[in-house]
Structure 1
Amino acid sequence: MSKFIVDSNFFIQAHRSIYPLDVVQSFWVKIADLASNGTIISIDKVKKEIFDNASHQDQLKIWCGDNLPNDFFINTDLVLNNYISIVTWVNSSHFTERARQEFLATDLADPWLVAFAMSNGWTIVTYEKSEPNRRNRIKIPEVCNQFNVRYINTIEMFRELNENF
Structure 2
Amino acid sequence: MYLLDANTYIQAKNLHYQMSFCPAYWHWLDEQFQAGQLASISSVYHELTVQNDELTEWVKMRKAHFLPVSSEDIQDQFGSVAEYVSGLEDKKAEHIADFLGNADPWLVATACASGATVVTHEAPVPDNSSKVKIPNVCRAFDVPYITTYELLNTLDAQFVLGRSS
- Note whether the superposition's TM-score is higher than 0.5: yes
Which residue of structure 1 lines up, in the alignment, with residue 4 of structure 2?
6
Residue 8 of structure 2 aligns to which amino acid in structure 1? Answer: F
Which residue of structure 2 lines up, in the alignment, with residue 15 of structure 1?
13
Which residue of structure 1 lines up, in the alignment, with residue 66 of structure 2?
73
Instruction: Give the TM-score of the pair, scaled to structure 2.
Output: 0.89
Instruction: Give the TM-score of the pair, scaled to structure 1.
Output: 0.89
Tell me, in whole angstroms, the C-alpha distance in 2 between the residues paired with 1:81 and 1:114: 12
Structure 1 runs of 4+ with >6 Å offset: none
1:65-100 deviations in whole A, cap 9, x for unaligned?
33x3x4211110111110110111111112111111
Residue aligned with 2:125, SS? coil
- Flag structure 2 segments of 5+ consecutive residues without an equivalent: 160-165
Tell me, in whole angstroms, the C-alpha distance in 2 between the residues paired with 1:160 and 1:124: 13
Tell me, in whole angstroms, the C-alpha distance in 2 between the residues paired with 1:122 and 1:134: 28
Retained in 2: the 8 A contact 1:123–1:149? Answer: yes
Which residue of structure 1 lines up, in the alignment, with residue 134 of structure 2?
140
Task: Trace 1:1-165 onto structure 2 (pairs within 5 A).
Answer: 3-52=1-50, 54-55=51-52, 58-66=53-61, 68=62, 70-78=63-71, 79-93=74-88, 94-105=90-101, 108-133=102-127, 135-165=129-159
Task: Kindly name which structure, 1 or 2, has the bigger radius of gyration based on alpha carbons.
Answer: 2
Retained in 2: the 8 A contact 1:98–1:136? Answer: no
The CA deviation at 1:161 is: 1.3
- Flag structure 1 segments of 5+ consecutive residues without an equivalent: none
Tell me, in whole angstroms, the C-alpha distance in 1 between the residues paired with 2:78 and 2:141: 11
Q: How many residues align?
A: 156
Residue 16 of structure 1 aligns to which amino acid in structure 2? Answer: N
User: What is the CA RMSD across the aligned residues, in angstroms?
Assistant: 1.3
